Chains A and B, each alone.
Chain A
Amino acid sequence: MPSTAGSRLLENYRPPFDATAVRKLRESGAIVVGKTNLDEFGMGSTTEGSAYQVTANPWDLSRVPGGSSGGSAAAVSARQCMVALGSDTGGSVRQPASFCGVVGLKPTYGRVSRYGLVAYASSLDVIGCFGSSVADSGILLGAISGHDKFDATSSKRDIPDYASQFVAIDYLESKPLKGLRVGVIRETLEDGVDSEVISSVRDAVSHLEQLGCTATEVSLPSFSLGLPAYYILASSESSSNLSRYDGVRYGNQVFGDELNSLYGDSRAQGFGSEVKMRILMGTYALSAGYYDAYYKRAQQVRTIIRNSFKEALDNNDILISPAAPTVAYKIGEKKNDPLAMYAGDIMTVNVNLAGLPALVLPCGFVEGGPAGLPVGFQLIGAAFSEEKLLKIGHIFEQTLPGCSFVPPIVADE
């Protein structure tokens, strides 16, 4: 099966091996039906950055599905497949899950082998799961998790049986989440976040309280630092990871008189503008004289963020935030405003910087499109606490009243 990563440079590339996650799925009996669209090399939040097609949101075909793994989210949302994989470097599974009204799970860094995943930013990249239910997402995670000798950063921790702890609604106690401490991140419900999104998330928190949780507000003062730190680190690593696409081995080689022009011209024609911009940013941030001011400081911010999450999660079982500041927006709306698009990643990038697991669940609707637009909220847990997140999520989705997250184009059939 060709693997293009949404880039012209890999237009005819067929990998000679399966990614470990895919191999494990095949070994578990899964049937792979295809690959889906994404922003080129995972760089984007709308899937408009694909070199091939623009993917539409099943809830409103004039809107983006989110990104970068927008194709997978849209496919699950439109019930074209049971479950799908995506890659989450700064929110690329969770934000499209929110935009498309499906479940999106970003595991702890190291839970799933990255072997075979086309690298964007290696220290942040995680393979994530899409499903139309928490149960499906949990089963998918169980199948792909585990140590892999081909990925030195994969964890050797045991894999819990994620599916076994799901309790059907008829067997739930009246307060099934009694004693659970929920911290609502104050900085994620302030200015710059759509008020309807805020009220949906607050409703979700109320629902959790009805299930027995104790919810308090927590402050993560370093939260806003995550976005610039993320873009510096991700761009830096990607500028290095994309060096291998030099026109010699992949893509359409552009004839050059000398080596540098061969490299330069092949890359100039093969990469899209967003990718080029990030390579430039990353190269700049790693250059002598700028390294300390950019890359090194971003690493220091990363440590601060990791510590502040650790502290908040020592006092709370889970943390809660919106999955994105808005619901799905119009195709083309932010295409010429990259900073506005980047700002949309504020809810998710911190979790990647801290390496933590997070689950995005649809929790409500905002007016728009033919039948409203789904809103997702994010549950963040301590490292390797996927089991807990899935358990809470499963109870939440079964007990949330009056919500069916099936898009009208599917429901009407």
Chain B
Amino acid sequence: MALTLFKGLKSNCFRWYPSVYVARKHGVLYCSMRNAQGQTATTQEKQHTKLKASSKKESGKLEEILKNYEAVIGIETHVQLSTQTKAFCSCPYNYGAQPNTSICPICMGLPGALPVLNSKVIGYAVKLGLALNCKLSLNSKFDRKQYFYPDLPKGYQISQFDIPIATGGYLDVDLPVEFGGGHRKFGITRVDLNRAGVPLLEIVSEPDMRTGIEAAEYAAELQRLVRYLGVSNGNMQEGSLRCDVNISIRPIGQLEFGTKVEIKNLNSFSSVSRAIDFEISRQVLLHSQGQADHIVQETRLWEEGAQKTVTMRKKEGLSDYRYFPEPDLPGVTLTNEYINEIRDSLPELPEMKRRRYEKLGLSMQDVLFLTNDINVAAYFAATIATGADVKLAANWIMGDIAAYMKNEKLSIDDIKLTPKELGELIASIKAGTISGKIGKEILFELMAKGGTVEGIIKEKDLVQIVDPTEIEKIIDRVLVNNPKQLEQYRGGKTKLQGYFAGQVMKETKGKANPGLLNRILLEKLNAKS
């Protein structure tokens, strides 16, 4: 604290030294998504209903009781931001890196070290706040949340307590068609800057959800949003996106809330959904058996193996975190210009995309498939940007391409077919250059090996035969070579038309234009009778 100095201090030798600190460039985001991680609530829920159906008989009675109750569910989500550095120092932060490989006096909490906020964190918070339709606080501040914990070097965490950076928004969710579909608007209470070290945003929802599906879809939409915005990889397994669920039940018609239970350790959307359904059943059973007082305010842990929630810790009154304003950090001041700049730079968000695709005439099922995964959405957008027919592009992607991805366990970014070539393929079929059947063959070749539609058509001589005289010649040859079948056909066995068509296709290696082929074939078959 105190320090003495000897002579040698001369006023003329003071220099303004350039600082040794070099600002890092920000901006690397990793949003690539493997299939295994690219879960959507929808795909996982299918499995869930199957599981549940098997035990339906036993729980038939419970189902009856459940009808008399409603659940009130709110979610607190922590999103780990994909900034390159930690929140309050310039140490690099990467998920999966060895802990404590990059540390400095600041993140170690050494005496005299001070936190300095990574400005990227504010930008990300504003982005998410805007995307969640929140009101942004032009002046917010940081507070210290104090408790002793071995991983907490300073004995407190820097977070936002009474003035969060954003408040009062909502999130639009479209429920999957297989669960009855429907649009939901879930309230967002607050978005706040949270936690030292790893930069986190906390998003607190209103207690607006009523079922496990709704909660899982809320979480999935939030994941989609952070990925669309590029503020986080949103990965639940890695813990980049964590959901803690607050849940209570009450008899339908009752206004006051029941006792709130918190559930932690939810590592996937399906566990969010299943944990909630389990917890609703548990609470409703207790309540219906006159044991409502056994529902206590506590934190429960979801056990994936046992498929149930268990008590983690009971809350004995509220913990006193002795919050007070963080004196080491100035308040966070946002200007309207800054907010507008960020608003103008926002990408098209999932909700906007869904509404736009709906207007293009796609079904809700198509819309959800094409917008749920940001990479699929980008692929689709790039395909229709080539001028490809919207409905055809959707069909190809949702059909053969999706099936191929699933079989090969690839993400859409891994397949070698580019959106440009998919557009080309669709155009070639539409123009009649190749048949649909050949188009499909080319598609698989392109997905596996890459290349261009034009190249494969040329290389394999796959151009469709559209010249009627050429087709006629081949038909004649086929009829001559199959006199027996011709006789049978003319004897009334008209089903044999397919056989002749197949023979022609075989001769032309599938290149004959099917419409032309059938028309001429029918003429020939019927002509001499």
CB within 8 Å of B: which residues of A? 3, 5-6, 10, 13, 15-17, 19, 22, 24-25, 27-38, 42, 68-69, 71-72, 75-76, 80-87, 114-119, 121-123, 139-140, 142-143, 146, 149-153, 163, 236-237, 239-240, 243-244, 246, 248-250, 259-260, 263, 283, 286-288, 291, 295
CB pair A118–B322 under 8 Å, yes or no, is no
CB distance from B84 to the nearest CB of A (A): 17
- Cα–Cα distance between A248 and B328 once the two chains are bound (Å): 24
- Cα–Cα distance between A50 and B76 once the two chains are bound (Å): 47
Residues of B within 8 A of A287 (CB): 320, 322
Give B246-264 as 1s and 0s: 1 = Cβ < 8 Å from A's Cβ atoms: 0000000000000000000
CB distance from B478 to the nearest CB of A (A): 83
Q: Which of A29, A87, A122, A243 contacts B1 (CB 8 A)?
A: A87
CB pair B320–A119 under 8 Å, yes or no, is no
Residues of B within 8 A of A288 (CB): 318, 320, 322
CB within 8 Å of A: which residues of B? 1-11, 13-17, 19, 21, 105-106, 108-117, 144, 146, 148, 150, 153-156, 318, 320, 322-324, 327-330
Residues of B within 8 A of A69 (CB): 1-2
Is chain B's binding surface mostly helix, strand, loop or mixed? loop
Residues of A within 8 A of B19 (CB): 149
CB pair A72–B3 under 8 Å, yes or no, is yes
Nearest 9 interchain pairs by C-beta: A243-B155, A123-B327, A122-B327, A81-B4, A286-B322, A72-B2, A116-B112, A36-B2, A84-B4
Residues of A within 8 A of B11 (CB): 139, 142, 163
CB pair A82–B111 under 8 Å, yes or no, is no
With A27-B17, A28-B15, A150-B21: A84-B3 Cβ-Cβ less than 8 Å: yes
- Cα–Cα distance between A37 and B153 once the two chains are bound (Å): 27
CB pair B3–A243 under 8 Å, yes or no, is no
CB pair A240–B2 under 8 Å, yes or no, is no
CB pair A149–B112 under 8 Å, yes or no, is no
Residues of B within 8 A of A15 (CB): 105, 110-112
CB pair A240–B1 under 8 Å, yes or no, is no
CB pair B146–A153 under 8 Å, yes or no, is no
CB pair B330–A152 under 8 Å, yes or no, is yes
CB distance from A165 to the nearest CB of B (A): 12
CB pair A84–B5 under 8 Å, yes or no, is yes
Q: Which of A3, A30, A248, A283 contacts B9 (CB 8 A)?
A: A30
Contact sample, A vs B, 11 pairs, CB 8 Å cutoff? A10-B111, A16-B110, A30-B5, A31-B9, A115-B113, A140-B5, A146-B16, A149-B116, A152-B330, A243-B148, A287-B320
CB pair A119–B112 under 8 Å, yes or no, is yes
CB pair A244–B111 under 8 Å, yes or no, is yes
CB pair B111–A42 under 8 Å, yes or no, is no
Residues of B within 8 A of A71 (CB): 2
11 further A-B contacts with Cβ under 8 Å, apart from A246-B155, A249-B109, are A28-B15, A29-B9, A29-B13, A35-B3, A37-B2, A81-B6, A84-B4, A85-B3, A118-B111, A153-B327, A243-B155
Cβ-closest chain B residue relative to A286: B322
CB pair B111–A13 under 8 Å, yes or no, is yes
Q: Which of B4, B108, B112, B318 contacts A115 (CB 8 A)?
A: B112
With A118-B1, A123-B327, A246-B155: A31-B8 Cβ-Cβ less than 8 Å: yes
CB pair A237–B327 under 8 Å, yes or no, is yes
Cβ-closest chain B residue relative to A41: B1
Cβ-closest chain A residue relative to B106: A150
Cβ-closest chain B residue relative to A73: B2
CB pair A35–B112 under 8 Å, yes or no, is no
Q: Which of B2, B21, B148, B324 contacts A35 (CB 8 A)?
A: B2
Residues of B within 8 A of A236 (CB): 324
- Cα–Cα distance between A286 and B147 once the two chains are bound (Å): 13
CB distance from B81 to the nearest CB of A (A): 19
CB pair B117–A152 under 8 Å, yes or no, is yes
CB distance from B508 to the nearest CB of A (A): 74
CB pair B116–A84 under 8 Å, yes or no, is no
Residues of A within 8 A of B148 (CB): 243, 246, 259-260, 263
Residues of A within 8 A of B146 (CB): 240, 243, 286
With A17-B105, A243-B146: A3-B111 Cβ-Cβ less than 8 Å: yes
B108, B117, B324 pick with most chain A CB within 10 angstroms: B324
With A71-B2, A152-B115: A249-B153 Cβ-Cβ less than 8 Å: yes
CB pair B330–A240 under 8 Å, yes or no, is no
CB pair B154–A86 under 8 Å, yes or no, is no
CB distance from A45 to the nearest CB of B (A): 14
CB distance from B25 to the nearest CB of A (A): 16
CB pair A150–B111 under 8 Å, yes or no, is no
B4, B19, B327 pick with most chain A CB within 10 angstroms: B4
CB distance from A109 to the nearest CB of B (A): 10
